[in-house]
Chain A
Amino acid sequence: MWSFSNIANNLHKWLSETFNPTMTLIIEMVLAGVAVIGLFAALGLVLVIMERKVSAWMQIRLGPNRVGPKGMLQSLADTLKLLVKEGLTPNGADKLLFNLAPFVAMIVAMLLMAPIAFAKDFQLWDLNIGVLYVSAISSIMVISILMAGWASNNKYSLMGAMRSGAQIVSYELSAGLSILAVVVMTGSLQVSDIIHSQADGWWIFKGHIPMVVAFITFIIAVTAETNRAPFDLAEAESELTAGFHTEYSGMKFALFFLAEYVNVFIVCAIGATLFLGGWMPFHIGNWTQFNHVMDYIPSSIWFFGKTFFLIFVIMWFRWTFPRLRIDQLLNLEWKYLLPISMINLLIVTAMAILKWHF
């Protein structure tokens, strides 16, 4: 049957037959890099058009509908426009940091692609600390935002960056704790292990209410971590014009923009992997007929379906909720989410030890 893993294996076989092992490794690395960059660009285009269509649907509008069929090429046209725009560096800005920041943001987003299982046996790097790697690398994101805010020599940017710093550092805690709930249940940090542990049911169904709580905490925390509304204080446009990227223009702005969308994709992919079984199909107990039909759907479709569902949920948040204030944002984390997820983690641990889950 056609699948990503077959393609990857055949390619590997053909390369090993043609070249020596070192050359094979180098070519495979280059191919992986190109694939990630390609995916990065493709995701940016798809998610931007998706966001615009979703927002249009919620706002009783049509959305972009001029470029290409049903406006589907709009984001491509926008990218072209951004590419040919002048990238201004303001006077008095720290030029090195200012120009470096968008690239740091993009590199972080790319690094995060590595441990994600896009389909059955199709993963760039199935490292044994996969989940830890994701939490660690995603923290670097805040550095790029702080760099951008500080180097812009603009008070709006600085305030946006400071807000963002406080926000991401706080929300990482509850995101980490809710990820930990799954890790405790699975007993492994490796992404493939986590997915395989959900063969008989996804964690959100197997883990009773505590897992649902962990899932909800996770969604709230990652929405905050990716600076999406209602937690978009870093770029709160009615208060700080555009927050940390006020001074950016052209492609440098586009990189921040893309990184934001790719980050949304990654956190949703992680959420789908941890709680919704990654590429695992949906099975119901011993309904063999039903399970069989589900198995026929390719694993990549399962993965992308779940991920895009979560992305849709996060977009839904953005277009319905007003923005929080900075003190309310921190209150929500430190007074509600963190205690809840800590107690929840205790319950989950007890459940894992007593084998109360399905």
Chain B
Amino acid sequence: MFEEVGTTTEGDIIINVGPQHPATHGVLHLVITLNGETIKKVEPHLGYIHRSIEKMCESLSYRQFIYVTSRMDYLSSHINNHACALCVEKGLQVEVPPRAQVIRVLMDELTRIASHELWWGAMAMDLGAFTPFFHAFRERESINDIMEETCGARLTMNYMVPGGVMQDLHPNFQKKVKEFMQLYKRKIHEYDELVTGNIIFQNRMKNVGYLSAEDAVSYGCSGPAARGSGVSCDIRKIYPYEIYDKLEFDEVLETGGDSFARYMVRIREMQQSIRIIEQLIDNIPEGDFQAKTKAVLKLPKGEFYTRVETARGELGVYIVSEGGTTPYRIKFRSPGFSNLSVLDHIARGSKLGDLVAMMGTLDLVIPDIDR
């Protein structure tokens, strides 16, 4: 890749954004062909943080492999774990107790808020506004505190196990979550004042990185990246898992297709998550938090696929079992990988400064792309 550094025969500049670059938030390497400030081509080079989790999982038991997946999309590690647990449960045909289901959904939504908070701050930082980052972390911090009390960890929680959750909720959980929601509602207007309503920000985001609905589907985009183009793809609505079909919430859709639409989807999605938490926090049923499962899990021979909605889009877990104690093959369909592939398409013809905004609104998490 190093001989590609230089200029092309047409006199275009080729620059390397990454693997270490302030805007890529990880070790993403983009080789960009520039004509002046205008982007002609974006070519991702991946693999800097590839740990081959899929190969690793082939030698791990069905209880163990869940914990490795926390390291994929580390910002929604709960949801990754959830997807894997669901897939194993599908194979074992285990019924998850209602209390565990509610806890799982609560944790998922808290994770989603935390992830979107971090995205919001990081994206504002990409655009040159540093302050929102710290404001976002104020709220994210209190979610992390909640997680720490109940799960014992702040980032890679590893709380989901096949059949339920690892341990019961901390006694303070409900109180803390209510406190968080109070804080969040008190501070939400700051988000709009600081970033959304800013004229510079709107000019940077509107009519930038346009992605049509057909292209979004064709490139396999999912999550807020596709919903910003008006593609209805919220797995929680279309193929509900756990108790999502009993909850009242809206699938957030924007039709703009530009960076601003994708931004607004995430901002509004946080409010929907708050709505879900509000419905559940006072209605956590009593009972077991874990179904009875055997010590050594054995999935029957066959193939199992689950789809869940992470903060970034659709995560698919595909387990091929030969009947043993370890999966024969696991494929993780990560949302980031497909969302990244659209970057070249939407970035062509725009300015270098906009590339950063587009990467921000696609919400790329590099370990999720590389796995």
Q: A and B touching (C-beta < 8 Å)?
A: yes
A60 within 8 A of B: yes
Indicate if the CB atoms of A320 and B134 lie closer than 8 Å.
no
A322: which of B23, B138, B204 is its contact (CB, 8 Å)? B204
| A327–B353 alpha-carbon span in the complex (Å) | 10
Contact with B along A306-320 (1 / 0, CB 8 A): 000000000000011
Q: How far is the CB of B206 from chain A (nearest CB, A)?
A: 11
B131: which of A230, A319, A323, A324 is its contact (CB, 8 Å)? A319
Indicate if the CB atoms of A239 and B198 lie closer than 8 Å.
no
Indicate if the CB atoms of A159 and B128 lie closer than 8 Å.
no
Contact with A along B96-127 (1 / 0, CB 8 A): 00000000000000000000000000001111
Contact with B along A159-188 (1 / 0, CB 8 A): 100010000000000000000000000000
Indicate if the CB atoms of A239 and B124 lie closer than 8 Å.
no
Indicate if the CB atoms of A239 and B129 lie closer than 8 Å.
no
A325: which of B22, B135, B353 is its contact (CB, 8 Å)? B353
Indicate if the CB atoms of A60 and B134 lie closer than 8 Å.
yes
A355 within 8 A of B: no
Which residues of chain B from 313 to 362 have a CB within 8 Å of any chain A CB? 351-356
A236: which of B128, B138, B194 is its contact (CB, 8 Å)? B128
User: Given A236-B128, A238-B127, A323-B353, do A328 and B134 touch, yes or no (CB 8 Å)?
Assistant: no
| A230–B37 alpha-carbon span in the complex (Å) | 18
Indicate if the CB atoms of B131 and A59 lie closer than 8 Å.
yes
User: Given A241-B21, A328-B203, do A320 and B131 touch, yes or no (CB 8 Å)?
Assistant: yes
Q: How far is the CB of A60 from chain B (nearest CB, A)?
A: 6
Main secondary structure of the interface of A (DSSP, over half): helix
Indicate if the CB atoms of B351 and A325 lie closer than 8 Å.
yes
A61: which of B134, B200, B355 is its contact (CB, 8 Å)? B134
| A232–B128 alpha-carbon span in the complex (Å) | 9
B15 within 8 A of A: yes
User: Given A155-B13, A238-B23, do A324 and B204 touch, yes or no (CB 8 Å)?
Assistant: yes
A230: which of B126, B134, B138, B200 is its contact (CB, 8 Å)? B200
Indicate if the CB atoms of A229 and B128 lie closer than 8 Å.
yes
B239 within 8 A of A: no
Q: How far is the CB of A155 from chain B (nearest CB, A)?
A: 5
Indicate if the CB atoms of A60 and B198 lie closer than 8 Å.
no
Q: Residues of B contacting A159 with CB < 8 Å?
A: 13, 37, 352
Q: Residues of A contacting B134 with CB < 8 Å?
A: 59-61
Indicate if the CB atoms of A238 and B351 lie closer than 8 Å.
no
B46 within 8 A of A: no
| A238–B98 alpha-carbon span in the complex (Å) | 46
User: Given A59-B134, A60-B135, A328-B203, do A322 and B129 touch, yes or no (CB 8 Å)?
Assistant: yes
| A73–B131 alpha-carbon span in the complex (Å) | 24
Q: How far is the CB of A316 from chain B (nearest CB, A)?
A: 10
Indicate if the CB atoms of A156 and B353 lie closer than 8 Å.
no
Indicate if the CB atoms of B204 and A241 lie closer than 8 Å.
no
| A238–B201 alpha-carbon span in the complex (Å) | 15
Contact with B along A234-249 (1 / 0, CB 8 A): 0011111100000000
A2 within 8 A of B: no
Indicate if the CB atoms of B131 and A238 lie closer than 8 Å.
no
A346 within 8 A of B: no
A326 within 8 A of B: yes
Indicate if the CB atoms of B129 and A321 lie closer than 8 Å.
yes
| A320–B133 alpha-carbon span in the complex (Å) | 11
Q: Considering the complex, give the chain B residue whose CB is closest to the CB of A242.
A: B22
| A59–B194 alpha-carbon span in the complex (Å) | 12
Indicate if the CB atoms of B204 and A321 lie closer than 8 Å.
no
Of A233, A238, A323, A326, most buried by chain B (CB within 10 Å of CB) is: A238
Contact with B along A47-67 (1 / 0, CB 8 A): 000000001001111000000
A to B CB contacts below 8 Å, 13 in the list: A58-B131, A59-B131, A59-B133, A59-B135, A229-B128, A237-B128, A238-B22, A238-B23, A321-B128, A321-B200, A323-B128, A324-B200, A325-B353
Closest 5 CB pairs of A and B: A323-B128, A59-B134, A322-B127, A322-B129, A238-B23
Q: Given contacts A322-B195, A325-B351, list 20 more A-B pairs with CB under 8 A.
A: A59-B130, A60-B134, A155-B15, A229-B128, A237-B128, A238-B22, A238-B23, A238-B127, A239-B352, A239-B355, A241-B21, A319-B130, A322-B124, A322-B129, A322-B198, A323-B128, A323-B129, A323-B353, A324-B204, A328-B200
